[in-house]
Homo-oligomer: A and B are copies of this chain.
Amino acid sequence: MLDPVSRVRRFNRAVTSAVGALDTSFLGRGRPLGAARVLNAIGHGHSDVGELRDYLGLDSGLMSRLLRGLEDEGLIGTQAHEDDARRRVASLTRAGKREFAAYEAMSNTQAESFLARNSQVEALLAAMDLIASALTRERIALAEMDPQSEEARYCLGEYYAELGRRFKQGFDVSLSRDPDAKDMRRPRGSFIVATSDTLPIGCVGLKGTDHGYAEIKRLWVAPCARGLGLGKRLMNAAEDAARTLRIALLRLDTNSALPEAGQLYRTTGWREIPRFNDDPYPDLFFEKQIRA
Interface residues of A (CB under 8 A from B): 1-2, 4-19, 22-23, 107-108, 111-112, 114-115, 117-121, 123-132, 134-137, 150-151, 154, 196-200, 226-228
Contacts and interface: CB of A to CB of B under 8 A. Distances in A.
Most central of A114, A130, A137, A196 by chain B CB within 10 Å = A130
Nearest to A197: B10
Nearest to A138: B117
Copies in the complex: 2
Contacts of A9: 107-108, 111
Contact of A131 (B19, B22, B124, B136): B124
A121 B13 contact: no
13 contacts: A1-B150, A4-B111, A4-B115, A10-B197, A11-B128, A14-B131, A14-B132, A15-B19, A18-B135, A120-B130, A126-B127, A127-B128, A127-B131
Contacts of A136: 14
Contact of A10 (B10, B14, B198): B198
A199 B114 contact: no
Nearest to A118: B134
A128 B2 contact: no
Closest 3 CB pairs of A and B: A127-B127, A119-B227, A8-B111
Nearest to A129: B7
B129 A11 contact: yes
Nearest to A198: B1
A12 B5 contact: no
Given A127-B131, A128-B131, A12 B22 contact: yes
